[in-house]
């Protein structure tokens, strides 16, 4: 059994760099390489969607110098990965409140989305400036506006209605959530969508996460009996 949608909390980039007495930038750069590697393997495994938790809304509270570094690396990666992603038939979509991103970063990401829009090999759902609680709040506000505008009856609001207003609308719910770096929490990630996802964690830092780790997660997933609360 292969999951259709794998969501990844890519944790441990800073600790990977610190353990090696390297600049933090090196950890994030290696993290980009790891993501490209995993996308290739995921496509071969016939996974349809990979959601990568790249930058949470809480990450804005990090030192300004680090946030600036992350935004520049994000823009550079978006520009530099276009050709590789196109070759791999990866379709990129964004997930989050992107209006707070620096204009250069936002433009690079928008170009990436446009350039890969017609690819159909695998979807990379990139969660940037993402927070699940805010996402749910945004969905509720959208539905309230529809009700107040006479476009919807309040009694028609169900799980499907909420899901249709989430940032992930149109994507299947994640079947498997992977967290690297040794922590065992969701960190405000896909709280609504991951209600019945299987969880798999590893102490391996994200820059070192490779095909053997992904295969271990997929093997563990295949052995689980999904009950959906029954």
- Three-state helix/strand/coil letters over the chain: CCCCEEEEECCCHHHHHHHCCCCHHHHHHHHHHHHHHHHHHHHHCCCCEEEEEEEEHHHHHCCHHHHHHHHHHHHHHHHHCHHHHHHCCEEEEEECCHHHCCHHHHHHHHHHHHHCCCCCCEEEEEEEEECHHHHHHHHHHHHHHHHHCCCCCHHHCCHHHHHCCCCCCCCCCCCEEEECCCCCCCCCCCCCCCCCCEEEECCCCHHHCCHHHHHHHHHHHHHCCCCCCC
From residue 147, give the alpha-carbon distance in Å to each of 152, 153, 164, 168: 5, 6, 15, 22
d(CA 175, CA 124): 15
pTM above 0.85, yes or no: yes
- Residues 158-211 pLDDT 10s: 999 999 999 999 999 999 999 999 999 999 999 999 999 999 999 999 999 999
> What pLDDT is attached to residue 230?
66
Q: Is the pLDDT of residue 118 over 90?
A: yes
Nearest to 132 by CA among 183, 195, 90, 72: 195
**Residues that are catalytic:** 11, 59
What mean pLDDT is predicted for residues 5-19? 97
Give the pLDDT score at 36. 93
Report the range of poorest mean pLDDT among 38-42, 158-162, 225-229. Answer: 225-229
What domains sit in the chain, N to C, each tagged with a CATH number? 5-131+173-222 (3.40.1180.10)
CA distances from 66 to 61, 72, 94, 207 (A): 10, 10, 22, 18
């Amino acid at each position: 059994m292969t999951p259709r949608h794998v969501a990844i909390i890519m944790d441990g980039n800073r600790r990977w760099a610190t353990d090696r007495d390297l600049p933090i930038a090196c950890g994030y750069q290696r993290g980009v390489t790891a993501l490209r590697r995993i996308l290739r393997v995921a496509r071969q495994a016939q996974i349809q969607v990979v959601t990568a938790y790249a930058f949470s809304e809480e990450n804005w509270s990090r030192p300004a110098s680090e946030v600036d570094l992350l935004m520049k690396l994000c823009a550079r990666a978006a520009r530099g990965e276009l050709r590789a992603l196109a070759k791999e038939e990866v379709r990129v979509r964004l997930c989050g409140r992107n209006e707070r991103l620096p204009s250069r970063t936002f433009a690079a990401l928008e170009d990436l989305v446009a350039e890969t829009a017609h690819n159909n090999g695998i979807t990379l759902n990139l969660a940037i400036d993402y927070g699940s609680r805010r996402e749910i709040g945004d969905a509720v506000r959208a539905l309230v506006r529809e009700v107040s505008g006479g476009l919807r009856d309040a009694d028609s609001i169900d799980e499907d209605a909420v899901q249709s207003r989430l940032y992930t609308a149109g994507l299947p719910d994640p079947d498997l959530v992977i967290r690297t770096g040794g922590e065992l929490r969701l960190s405000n990630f896909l709280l609504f969508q991951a209600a019945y996802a299987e969880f798999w964690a590893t102490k391996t830092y994200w820059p070192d996460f490779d095909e053997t780790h992904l295969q271990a997660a997929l093997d563990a997933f295949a052995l689980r009996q999904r009950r959906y609360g029954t």
